[in-house]
Amino acid sequence: MLAGAFALALVLVRPGLGHADEEASRLKLRALIEEGDLILEEAHRLQPAADQLAADGVRLEAEGTSLQAESAGLNETTVKFNATTIELQRQVKAHQAACPGESEDKALVESCNARARELQPAVSAHEEQRPVLQQRQQSLQQGIEAHNAARRDWAARKRDLDPKVQANRKDADYWLGEARAFLAGDGFRALANKAGAPAACAPRTLGDLASPPADAAVGRAHACLKAVAGALR
């Protein structure tokens, strides 16, 4: 009698072990979902700032290239302007040396006056370029200062954002490792079968969870876990 009772007790205990395994799997399922919620929420919160930072970085790079080209062009124009200034000054000095203030030499006077009439328009036209060139230099300097200020702001935002993004990615990588192990286990497979094998958990939908980008893999694995949990309610 004692042996029979003991054997019956063993038979009755076995279903309880299966129930405990299922409950442990359900607890793991809920824990992964809750952790995944936090990771995805943080990633979603950080994404606008990350997108803006990336867009600003591209814009600042293009702006910097444009300013460099503008600076090079302005430097070339300035060098030519200065060379023309030196040449005109040389010609004016040569004219002054060749032409005294007064002379009885009629031919010399006529020659000097003709040369003066030639030089004056050239000097005037050249001098008209000076304020235009100065304005370009001032505008470029303002553009460079604004660009440098924008780059400092961008760098400060990047220093603030990068650690948060890296921490989120580290959490996502760890969570993904835990989720992959759970998804490959017998406990999850039993829950998924009981939930009617949701489409979100189909191999084609899940894809390769080990392939980057990790945030996309987290989203797919999380969707599968939530689909199973939702069907089991």
- pLDDT tens for 19-53 read 788 899 999 999 999 999 999 999 999 999 999 99
What is the average pLDDT across 121-126? 92
Question: What's the CA gap between 26 and 107, in Å, rounded?
Answer: 114
What is the average pLDDT across 190-204? 94
* Amino acid residing at 211: S
Q: Which two tokens stand for residue 104?
A: 């009885």
What is the average pLDDT across 95-120? 81
pLDDT confidence band for 200 (50 / 70 / 90): very high
Q: 202: phi > 0 → left, psi -120 to 50 → alpha, else beta; which?
A: beta
Question: What's the CA gap between 223 and 123, in Å, rounded?
Answer: 77
CB burial class (10 A; 0-12, 13-18, 19+) of residue 228?
buried
- Does this model's pTM top 0.95? My answer is no
Instruction: Specify the pLDDT at position 170.
Output: 95
Mean pLDDT across the chain:
89
